[in-house]
Amino acid sequence: MKSETPRNLALSVLNGLSHRPILSGSYLDDISRRNAQLDERDRAFISHLVQGVLRWRLRLDWIIEQTSDFPFEKITPPILNILRLALYQILFLDKVPESAAVNEAVNQSKAHGAKHVVSFVNAILRRVCRRRDEIRLPDRDGDPVHYLSVFYSYPAWLVKRWIKEWGIDFTEGLLSAGNRIPSFIIRTNILRLGRHELIERLEEEGMRARPTPYSPQGIIVEGLRGRPDALSSFKEGLFQVQDQAAQITSHLLAPQPGENILDMCAGLGGKSTHLAELMGDRGWVLALDINHGRLISLGRNSLRLGIECVTNLVADASRSLSSLFHFNFDKIMIDAPCSGFGVISRHPDGKWNRNEEDIERLAVLQKGMLGEAACLLRSGGKMLYVTCTISKEENEEVVKDCLKHHRDMSLVNMKGHVPEWCLDLIDDQGFLRTFPHVHQMDGFFAALFVKR
């Protein structure tokens, strides 16, 4: 395309995801790197468009199918993404004039097809603008799964699964919450200052900030313009970006100064660095991950936060780890790879990148990781299993499997082992369980084990 407008760049991201379905954030970061002339407003608009289309894709496709005389399955991905992008602006963005969305889509379609394609795009969009109130959704009473799937834009198999596990009313709350734009949450680096001091500092930098209701280090930030890593408070290592639910899990393991702790799936190190902070940076946190690039980022984060007790190691946590270590750990964190359906509001592309077979595959992987961890834990040591998903197959059933195959492991009822501020997040079985529509945070599950 001749003009790299924000809408054109958003379209290129969506087209890239059609060919290679990975996390949209990777494409957005790439777009930012290759278009340094973009200001923060344009970057935010591009991200908003991409995330919005991914969030509402199924409902947008339903509307296209209802208003088109051409078979939906024969619409090519580039034209389909042009329609999705324009419809999202028309139906969900009050501040974008309908004419601007339609005209831009028509211009985009000229670069992707012949005259009849341009006419097709123009006709559908103008029809929706004229008849938006006449578009019918599936019958809620006759086919509630189909209705909820289209109305909230989720795959039907997932809606059906959640209704079976949680009931229809609870499921509708989950679906609705997953479509909200999430709050921006950070974690205070208590090695350098207190939460109240950081709130004052953020307000000096032009933002509004208030404490999270649960995590004692969490802050909800509003009014951020641009990237958080551009803030001087970030560069000085005063905070780490991390959702409240993820912050809470580190407190459940209750790390103490001087302990040896293994973080088996460290990723970018949100939990590794938090564990180190809670230990006063005294002891040892071994951050293990299969991805070398993520561990490089973890190392930079540790340096920025002033943390010295974290060591990085590239290894596959699903393979035998006993040959790597000639000692046992006091505590182990297993933030296992999962379907991620508890963080859909942050990663709406997860709706479309997962299928039902993935849940079964991931559950097998998780069981293997728990088995590896159990062998590396000292007697009397504690192990925390964490996921950011809602599926019982990846949560309770994985816990049951661990107890069945490792008789020296016992489940700890966390009701008697957590701070008072956390008590109402622990269910009757002693598990941590947070739901986006109930607790206004990511959906997490955690189970605490002790080795007899």
The amino acid occupying position 109 is S
Between strands 445-451 and 432-433, the pairing is antiparallel
CA neighbor of 397 nearest in space, from 360, 343, 452, 424: 360
- Phi and psi at residue 304, in whole multiples of 5°? -65, -40
Whether 309 is catalytic is: no
> φ, ψ for residue 161 (rounded to 5)?
-65, -45
Integer Cα distance of 116 and 123 in angstroms: 10
> Closest Cα partner for 411 from 423, 425, 401, 421?
401
| Half-sphere exposure of residue 42: CA atoms within 13 angstroms, side-chain side | 13
Residue in 5, 175, 154 with CA at minimum distance from that of residue 89: 5
Question: What length does the chain have?
Answer: 452
The encoded tokens of residue 370 equal 């728990």
**H/E segment holding residue 211:** strand 208-211
Strand 310-314 relative to strand 239-241: parallel, antiparallel, unpaired? Answer: unpaired
Of residues 313, 449, 431, the one with CA closest to residue 371: 449
State how far the Cα of 292 lies from the Cα of 305, in Å rounded to an integer. Answer: 20
Residues 6+ apart with CB under 8 A from 115: none
What are the φ/ψ torsions at residue 210 (nearest 5 degrees)?
-150, 155
Alpha-carbon radius of gyration of the chain: 24
Given 265, 309, 338, 388, which residue is catalytic?
Answer: 388
Task: Return the C-alpha torsion angle 78, 83, 87, 90, nearest 10.
Answer: 100
What are the respective helix, strand and coil percentages of the chain, to the nearest 5? 50, 15, 35
CB atoms within 10 A of CB 352: 15
Q: What angle do CA 216, 347, 24 make, to 5 degrees?
A: 130
CB 432 within 8 A of CB 446: yes
CA pseudo-torsion sign 276, 282, 283, 287: positive
| Complete DSSP assignment for 242-309 | --HHHHHHHHHH---TT-EEEETT-TTSHHHHHHHHHTTT-SEEEEEES-HHHHHHHHHHHHHHT--S
Tokens of 2: 């001749």
Beta bridge partners of 329: 377
Residues tagged active-site: 388
